[in-house]
């Protein structure tokens, strides 16, 4: 519990991915959301490691924007997200 929200986290090796949600939300569903997100990161960076995340933080933000928006889950299909990300990358 944290102020009037709660924090849901999942640990992957040395990294903790934390999500802050309302008290009334479904904990287990957001655990799945975290896992989904990590899998996308993995695909996008090809076996992601911590350094990848540090050096390419703006790309990580892009992934976040693709999957979550306005505080809600936006896209759940990994293939679709990856397609979008590749397209965005080609523009840069």
Partner 1 sequence: MPAPIRLRELIRTIRTARTQAEEREMIQKECAAIRSSFREEDNTYRCRNVAKLLYMHMLGYPAHFGQLECLKLIASQKFTDKRIGYLGAMLLLDERQDVHLLMTNCIKNDLNHSTQFVQGLALCTLGCMGSSEMCRDLAGEVEKLLKTSNSYLRKKAALCAVHVIRKVPELMEMFLPATKNLLNEKNHGVLHTSVVLLTEMCERSPDMLAHFRKNEKLVPQLVRILKNLIMSGYSPEHDVSGISDPFLQVRILRLLRILGRNDDDSSEAMNDILAQVATNTETSKNVGNAILYETVLTIMDIKSESGLRVLAINILGRFLLNNDKNIRYVALTSLLKTVQTDHNAVQRHRSTIVDCLKDLDVSIKRRAMELSFALVNGNNIRGMMKELLYFLDSCEPEFKADCASGIFLAAEKYAPSKRWHIDTIMRVLTTAGSYVRDDAVPNLIQLITNSVEMHAYTVQRLYKAILGDYSQQPLVQVAAWCIGEYGDLLVSGQCEEEEPIQVTEDEVLDILESVLISNMSTSVTRGYALTAIMKLSTRFTCTVNRIKKVVSIYGSSIDVELQQRAVEYNALFKKYDHMAPTAAPTPASVPQISQAPFLLDGLSSQPLFNDITTGIPSITAYSKNGLKIEFTFERSNTNPSVTVITIQASNSTELDMTDFVFQAAVPKTFQLQLLSPSSSIVPAFNTGTITQVIKVLNPQKQQLRMRIKLTYNHKGSAMQDLAEVNNFPPQSWQ
End-to-end CA distance of the chain: 40
**Between 5 and 32, whose beta carbon lies closer to partner 1?**
32
- Residue 79 CB, shortest distance to partner 1, in Å, is 5
| Tokens of residue 77, six digits | 């299909």
**Between 13 and 28, whose beta carbon lies closer to partner 1?**
28
| Tokens of residue 29, six digits | 């569903």
CA angle 8, 83, 35 (to 5 degrees): 20
| Tokens of residue 33, six digits | 């959301």
Q: Phi and psi of 33, rounded to 5°?
A: -60, -40
- Residue 46 CB, shortest distance to partner 1, in Å, is 18
**Between 5 and 57, whose beta carbon lies closer to partner 1?**
57
Per CB under 8 A, residues contacting partner 1 are: 26-29, 31-33, 36, 54-55, 57-58, 61-62, 65, 69-80, 84, 87-88, 91-92
- Residue 41 CB, shortest distance to partner 1, in Å, is 16
């Amino acid at each position: 519990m944290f102020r009037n929200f709660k924090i849901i986290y999942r640990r992957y090796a040395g990294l903790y991915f934390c999500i802050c949600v309302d008290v009334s939300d479904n904990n287990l569903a957001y655990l799945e959301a975290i896992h989904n997100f990590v899998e996308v990161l993995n695909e996008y960076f090809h076996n992601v490691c911590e350094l990848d995340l540090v050096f390419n933080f703006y790309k990580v933000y892009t992934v976040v924007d693709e999957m979550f928006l306005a505080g809600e889950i936006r896209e759940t299909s990994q293939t679709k997200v990856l397609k979008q990300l590749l397209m965005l990358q080609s523009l840069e």
